[in-house]
Amino acid sequence: MTTRLNKFILFANSLFPHETAYLMNIQRFEDEEKLNILKLLHSNATHAAPEVKFDESLDRRKYSYMMTWCQDQLARIDVDNIFSKLCDYDRMIMTDNIDLKIERNILKLFRQAGTDYYSFLKLYDIGRSYRHFLQIRMRHHAFQVVDQFLRKHRTSYEYARMVNDKMHTVTEDIIEQYKSKHGDTMVYEQWLDSVYKDEGLDGYNRVLAWIRILFIAHNYRMIDRLSEKFDYFETMINNSKFYSRRILANFYSQKLLYFASQNKLDKAIEFGYLSIRERNNDYLYYINNLAAVLLRAGRHEEALRILLLATEDTRRDSNYHNKISHAAYLIMSRIENKLYKQAESSGDVFFNAYKAEIFEHRWHLFMTYYLRAILLLKNYKKIIRIVRQTRLMERDRTYMDSPNYTTVIPWIYNVANYHDGLITQEEFDTHTRELLLHPLTGEAFPEAVVSSLKKMGSSI
């Protein structure tokens, strides 16, 4: 493909399948060439690796028109774009700097919007300010429109605000359970589900409820139970209730986790690639999720390539949970690609730069892969030094009740002690037998875990 259509092709490759499906549903083109362009956009968007075959002999103005048309139609229903406009309206009202055209748009909103409006809370707050603006200027007709909206929906506003405040309390408990592995947040599931499916409630609160339902499912490792809730969310997207590129990217990433929990890795990867078409604040999180599934599927070179796409994002991202996950998966992908020295080197750099943050967040994930890279290079003294300096064995004991705990760190430490001559063959064998059993339950780890540990030991 030549450079004539590069801008259009970049746009085409960025589109989500739900976006092109919506555009196909609303189009009324009589021009066959424009319709064919849209059909090809939809076909490409719905395939994980599209082969772009746009006709370069067509008038380029038609491609330009179609790109503008698509962007305009999607902007009309984009809840994030609409929220940004509301914020602009709010600023204009508060600074007495609003023109006639904007006022017409605002009044149209107050005539048409209901309690199910996605940004109903924001619109209601604007109405309260706008009512003051209109009243003091004796704008009686406009005042009546806004005042009627506020009076009619006052009870619904108070309820939506109460839901939003309660959501904060619920979220505190959900996050605390995630961090401490203690607590019972399943008691919130029914309430969150009722909020999520309340079609008379604002979309913002409903999406917040959806995200927390997902978080609870992750806490209890029951994401495979969410089939019906995913279907409902997709219906809301198709009905333009919850649409924005940000929300869609998150939806695709959650679908990755959903299919990964069912071990449907190809399907999970397909949705993972969709999620990274949008480069937003959660891009690093989406990259990490996709890379983790690629590694699990044995697609190691692909995982490394994907992780390297987010190198710059790790420097800018202030979320250490994401930064540490990325560093850990980068070490793991280099190990799987037999780039042991690079794996150790990247681990060294990150460990020295973010030691405190590592042990505050995802230390078990990072240290597992970091120590494994050092082990593969047979630097046993370095392992022993790091374990002792960071009191890693003590930390490991506090992690034993985690549902995904394995004795991989004690296993690496045991191997290092043996090869450095600190324990005898008999002691090593005794420890090895003990490490194949869960220290709290005494039960054997799953065969896949046992096999991985034995392979790690035998390769040194």
Residue 457: predicted pLDDT: 63
**Residues 346 and 292 reside in one and the same domain:** yes
Domain boundary among 96, 123, 152: 152
Give the DSSP letter of residue 443: P
Determine the 3-state secondary structure of 181 from DSSP.
coil
The answer to whether position 250 is within a domain reads no
**Are residues 333 and 363 located together in one domain of the fold?**
yes
- CA 395 to chain CA centroid, nearest Å: 28
Residue 6: the pLDDT is 85
**Cα(91)–Cα(44) distance, integer angstroms:** 40
Number of Cβ atoms within 10 Å of the Cβ of 51? 7
> CA–CA separation, 223 vs 258, rounded Å?
6
Q: Which residues contact 273 (CB under 8 A, 6 or more apart)?
A: 48, 290
Give me the domain span that covers residue 90. Answer: 79-152
At residue 385, does pLDDT exceed 70?
Answer: yes
Rounded Cα distance, 405 and 126, in Å: 50
Query: How far is the C-alpha of 194 from the C-alpha of 261, rounded, in Å?
Result: 25
Identify whether residues 289 and 332 lie together within a single domain.
yes
Q: Give the three-state DSSP class for 444.
A: strand
What's the total number of domains in the chain? 5
45-98 pLDDT per residue, tens: 987 555 667 888 888 899 999 999 999 999 999 999 999 999 999 999 999 999
| Domain annotation covers residue 83 | yes
- Each residue of 389-443: pLDDT tens digit? 999 999 999 888 887 788 999 999 999 999 999 999 999 999 989 998 888 888 8
pLDDT of residue 1: 44
CATH code: domain of residue 307: 1.25.40
Q: What is the total residue count of the chain?
A: 460
- pLDDT exceeds 50 at position 17: yes
pLDDT at residue number 317: 87
Is the same domain home to 341 and 418?
Answer: no
- Residue from 232, 270, 240 nearest 23 by CA: 240
Q: Which of 28, 60, 77 is the last residue of a domain?
A: 77
